[in-house]
Chain A
Amino acid sequence: MFSKNYKKIKKSSNYGKIQMEDVRVSFEGENKAILDNFSISIEPGEFISILGTSGVGKTTLLRAISGFKRIDKGYIRINGLLTSSSFVHVQPEKRRLGFVFQDYALFPHINVFENIGFGISKRDKSRTDKINKIIDLIALKSHESKFPVQLSGGQQQRVAIGRALAINPSAILMDEPFSNLDYKLKESLSREVKKIINQSKTTAILVTHDEVEAKRLSDKCFILENGKLKSV
């Protein structure tokens, strides 16, 4: 339903907007909540960062938004449409959100070109053009036939971002995407990522434990503590 009406949704003013109201998330079979009464509203095209120490629930938050984790109560709306509540759960593949995993999760059995094009239908006549456009954007023109294992950490990270952007997502969610890189590479790549995301005008949520990185990249920074958000 969500993806069928995508063209209409894309034209609406809510496109790229993410709202969470009084969300509670807990692990299965456990009473203790990871997120409780959690609310946030992210405007279209906004780039926000969520800071927090390990185990505070940053990844869980992204997984709840993307639909990998069900919520116990509250509401999550993406592009103004209800996607998660205690009784509604739109499957992750119907939400059209780009997810950049901490370990990138590049498919090891297919090359860079196919990794980027994974989310684009093979029946789409402009598939090759779309992939090439992304490859240009992430500056990996001569690496498209390489497999993930043949790429450096920075190149893998760019492929992961390119793959997430290739589906033309309403928002991009990044789970500590720079944590596996050294300081210099982290700095140069984060600038590139910011440029790429600004160019594509996509809403972005970055979770990280690095305050400098968060401030450098995003329009707004929040700290996640005891399941609640505080502005920095």
Chain B
Amino acid sequence: MIKIRKANLDYYGLLTSSVLIVALVSIPIVYLIIRAVSSEDFFELLFRQRVFFILLRSIFLVISVTLGSTLISFFLAHFLVRTNIPFKKFLTVLCCLPIVIPSYVYGMVFVNILGPKGKFHDLLSSLRITENFPDFYGFWGATIVLTLLSYPYIFLPLRSAMLRMDSSFEDASRSLGRGRFKTFFYVTFPLLSPALRSGGLLVALYTLSDFGAVALLRYETFTWAIMTQFEGAFNRVSASVLSLVLVAIAVLILSSDSFFKGPKSYFSSSSSNRFLKSRNLDYKRWFIFFIICIPPAMGALFPFAGLLYWLFKGILLGESIIIEFGTIFNSLFVAILAAAFTLLISCPITFFATRYKNSISRLIEKISYIGFGLPSIVIAISFVYFTINFVSPIYQTLVMLIIGYGVLFLPVAVSSMKTTLLQLNPNLEDASRGLGLGYWSTMWRVTIPLIMPSILAGALLVFLLTLKELPLTMVLAPLNFDSLSLKVWGFASEAFFAKAALPSIMIILLSGPAAAYLVFKRNELDIRG
């Protein structure tokens, strides 16, 4: 009798806290939708030619970036896994570097070097060949920048899928009469498709929610249009209607069932696993080596070199390039607070979803993923509307900023913890309970220490993402609050590139070690549920 009551207490404790957190996550979004739909001008604002063109532009960009990233990732993963290319580990590290570059930093470097009147443009015009040089503003510029920054989101799961793939599937196909090409088409590709699909979804959502690169490269997608409406015209109904369309596209992308389920594992886990054979490239391997270097060089080394160039040029020209300690402190402070808060709210949901598998826990878990599916600008605007109307004392305070980050990055922490929690041998907890420890004591003394590496990895990932986050910081930060990302944006949008270089480099250096740990030690970059 006592046991049953105690079990119920654990259940209802977790259920209540999970419901409260999910309410925090979803109520502002629901409010935004209700406000937009109930507006008198809703249909007039929605069915405009402008909205249609923004929609087309956003979809074209999502498709082109996802396709481009897929092609690059396939090329890189194939040669790095299945051939005897030299310096494989070094190249793999190099290929992941673009992850630490914020899109607004790359956009800024790209515009300054390859844009009209940029450095490369000047060089070509001095050689009198400017007329043939393409204009990299707009669609092509945004595609190139976002592809080079987002391909690691496909490359990493694809590489690990290729590494885990059992070669006997390909051997079986060839023994049944299918040649190399047909074997790739009918066996290898379908077996790799879960990894491709999950990586592709990440890239599609990354592209859809990007604001910095599209704004700097003047390609009007939903994020830029929403921000313009919100900041410039301060037309709140129009911004919320545009947000609603953006929500619809994100939901459409997320509607693929596999997203919530995670990638299906097709790969044999038997002890007789034969891994894919390494093909000998002979003399061609050095040629391929240099081709493999191109995407990471363009995605990470090129923007970093551009930043260093501006920094040193600025110093040599005597520009006052100072970065206030307060700005660095603010960035680190909010990133640490956001990581701690996100972890705190992710614990009840994760435990509830993994320990009590029922329709309520599944629904709660799905709602907690809203933050990842929706662009940060939509979350930020929904919080502004909600707080102004219902909890105005926290409007434009650090509390609201931290809650915003918490909602945005909740899925990151949940999925990081959930994976390990699911793999945890339940007998360990039972053993603890059998030795007389209660539910909460067992959790504190057995479960949490065992999943601590995943908790820390989740926190590190939230820290990293908060440091780079721009649109949500722009909208929710208190007045006179300065962070590294806001500094970069402020200088870059006024073309003070030398001044923008130092905070950009600071972001990259501060996030670099965390990203390196996550990618190479724990392979935790995949942040789906």
Contact = CB atoms under 8 A, between A and B. Distances in A.
Contacts of B268: 103, 105
A102 interface: yes
Interface stretch (B143-151, B169-177, B245-253): B169-177
Given A105-B166, A105-B168, A107-B187, A66 B270 contact: no
B439 interface: no
A139 to B, nearest CB: 21
Q: How would you classify the secondary structure of chain A's contact residues: helix, strand, loop or mixed?
A: loop
A92 interface: yes
Given A91-B179, A93-B179, A107 B174 contact: no
B266 A66 contact: no
Contacts of B272: 102-103
Interface string B149-179: 0000000000000000010110111111111
B522 to A, nearest CB: 27
A68 B171 contact: yes
Contacts of B326: none
Interface in A153-194: 163-164, 167, 180
Given A103-B268, A109-B266, A96 B177 contact: yes
A1 B190 CA distance: 29
B177 A167 contact: yes
Residue in B172, B179, B270 with the greatest tally of chain A CB atoms within 10 Å:
B172
Contacts of A109: 190-191, 266
A68 B168 CA distance: 10
Contacts of B168: 101, 103, 105
A97 B175 contact: yes
A91 B176 contact: no
A52 B166 CA distance: 24
A116 to B, nearest CB: 10
A98 B270 contact: no
Nearest to B186: A118
Interface string A57-101: 000000000101000000000000000000000011111111101
Contacts of B270: 103, 180
Contacts of A53: none
Contacts of A118: 173, 176, 178, 186
Interface string B202-232: 0000000000000000000000000000000
Contacts of A12: none
A93 B166 contact: no
Contact of A93 (B174, B191, B266): B174
Contact of B175 (A92, A107, A108): A92
Residue in B175, B183, B187 with the greatest tally of chain A CB atoms within 10 Å:
B175
Interface string B180-201: 0001001100110000000000
A3 B174 contact: no
A99 B171 CA distance: 9
Contacts of B280: 28
Interface of B: 166, 168-169, 171-179, 183, 186-187, 190-191, 266, 268, 270, 272-273, 280
Interface of A: 3, 28, 66, 68, 91-99, 101-103, 105, 107-109, 118-119, 163-164, 167, 180
20 contacts: A91-B174, A92-B171, A92-B175, A93-B175, A93-B176, A93-B178, A93-B179, A102-B272, A103-B273, A105-B166, A105-B169, A107-B169, A107-B187, A107-B191, A108-B191, A108-B266, A118-B178, A164-B175, A164-B176, A167-B177
Given A66-B175, A93-B178, A101-B168, 20 more contacts: A68-B171, A68-B175, A94-B177, A95-B175, A99-B175, A101-B172, A102-B272, A103-B166, A103-B268, A105-B168, A105-B172, A107-B169, A107-B172, A107-B190, A108-B266, A109-B266, A118-B178, A119-B177, A119-B178, A167-B176
